[in-house]
Amino acid sequence: MLSAGGVGVRSYVRPCRRRAARADWQVVLDTTIPVPTHGRTRSSTRRVRLSDMDAHGRLRLDAAARFLQDVAIDDVQETGWGMPEHLWFVRRILVDVLHPFLDDREVELTTWCSGVAAIAAGRRWSVVGDAGGRIEVDSVWVHLDAAANPARIEHFGVYAEAAGRRHVSTRLELPDPPGNAARTRWSLRATDVDLHGHVNNAVYWQAVEELLPALGADPRLPLQAELDYRRPIDLGEEIDLVAFEDGGRGAVAFVAGGSAVRAVARIGGGATT
């Protein structure tokens, strides 16, 4: 259904358009959607290696995001919905870390389509580790053609059965930061940039990892993380990380040039299951 990050996906570049809520349109990301018993799913395993862990051996959020990208790319390339004819740009993602990957050294990822709209589709992942770790992820991606123009999704039969009748929304949820919030300069590196010349989706999670203590989150405990991608970040831009509180949860905005909000993440405690 999609590819991600450095191989055909970047943040969708159109600005967010606020629309009135409508029962048949607005659908919240849902990490409880079960693995479908009918329709296409794709599973793969990944080893958790040294560069994927923090200093205590935990699988970091940015490393997990790369794993998600990998299996998603493999999926769409197999079905003909990948590059070069189709581009998928992430709009919004929700990650529920139900059981942190503290001692896991291999994970199994299963992914499938979680919903469809005119020019967007949802993607779910379920990830389990060999030592009890588990995360559940839902997301929305905008479909573009080879020329990077928004394109209607047609003849989506290979994914339609798994998606069922669920609809997805490209509406963003997370707010702008307050003007007086503390700022930290985020230095970009050449290695942060992907094939399209923009900062790779997974790299945003590196900044989130860096600020977890300031956001009041203990990554050794269950947590819920959201990330809204508004516009891409390019190498050479001056980016500030602006930490603030939203609804009792820690949040961080990625702000370019002093005022342009490019992305917003929000982190809070989760619940075990």
Q: Show me where the domains of the chain are located.
A: 42-163, 183-269
Locus of tokens 């659908």 = 27
pLDDT at position 66: 97
- DSSP letter (8 states) at residue 176: P
Query: pTM higher than 0.85 for the full model?
Result: yes
Do 36 and 111 form a contact (C-beta atoms < 8 A)? no
Domains 42-163 and 183-269 share a fold: yes
Q: What whole-number distance in Å separates Cα of residue 93 and Cα of residue 123?
A: 9
Average pLDDT over all residues of the chain: 90
What integer is the mean pLDDT of 86-100? 96
pLDDT digits (tens, 9 = 90+) for 150-194: 999 999 999 999 999 999 999 999 999 999 999 999 999 999 999
Q: What whole-number distance in Å separates Cα of residue 145 and Cα of residue 83?
A: 9
At 206, list the tokens. Answer: 């590196």
Higher pLDDT among residues 260 and 25, named by residue: 260
Confidence of residue 269 (pLDDT cuts 50, 70, 90): confident
pLDDT digits (tens, 9 = 90+) for 209-231: 999 999 999 999 999 999 999 99
pLDDT at position 1: 44
DSSP-derived 3-state class of residue 47: strand
Query: What CATH code is assigned to 183-269?
Result: 3.10.129.10
Inform me whether the pLDDT recorded for 259 exceeds 70. yes
Looking at the chain, the number of H-run helices and the number of E-run strands are 3, 10
pLDDT at position 272: 54
In terms of CATH, what superfamily is 42-163?
Hotdog Thioesterase (3.10.129.10)
Q: What end-to-end distance do the CA atoms of the chain give, in Å?
A: 28
Inform me whether the pLDDT recorded for 15 exceeds 60. no
Q: What whole-number distance in Å separates Cα of residue 130 and Cα of residue 122?
A: 27
